[in-house]
Amino acid sequence: MLEGGALTRGNTIKAGWERLGGNGRLGFATPLATLHAFNGWADRFLTTPADGLDDRYLGWNRKFGKLDLTLAWHDFRAVRGDAHFGTETDASLGWAFRPHWTALAKLADFHVGDIGADVRKTWLGVEYLR
């Protein structure tokens, strides 16, 4: 994984490249971790494909008072061969509406490349942190 970023005028901007290997039969496995936070929120790659996963991404985050906005874009390809798995756009909006309380809305929009199906997911949540 290679990632770089910059903070300018309250904007956090990052770009990265993550490569998870595969030998054509098995993909890299992380049995005690989740790839949701790293390989797109649509969860198309909770297990690494047998031909591996090449994820190139861009991200942006900014806080506006009590609001926290995050946007990310991913391009997914196979490490072995030339399959294009698809692209994904993710967005989240958090709102700290009271001390210790946050509301969160998340959207994941995956568009298939050569194989699979499009996926769109939405989450709404409320969190209390003491």
pLDDT digits (tens, 9 = 90+) for 9-62: 999 999 999 999 999 888 988 777 777 888 999 999 888 999 999 999 999 999
Burial of 74 by CB count in 10 Å (0-12 exposed, 13-18 middle, 19+ buried)?
buried
Percent residues over pLDDT 90 in the chain: 80
pLDDT digits (tens, 9 = 90+) for 64-110: 999 999 999 999 999 999 899 999 999 999 999 999 999 999 999 99
Q: Which of 69, 80, 127 is nearest to 99 (CA)?
A: 127
Q: What is the pLDDT of residue 115?
A: 77
Q: What is the pTM of this model?
A: 0.91
User: Could you tell me how many helices (H) and strands (E) the chain has, helices first?
Assistant: 0, 7
- Mean residue pLDDT of the chain comes to 94
CB 59 within 8 A of CB 100: no
Residue 29's beta-bridge partner residues?
Answer: none
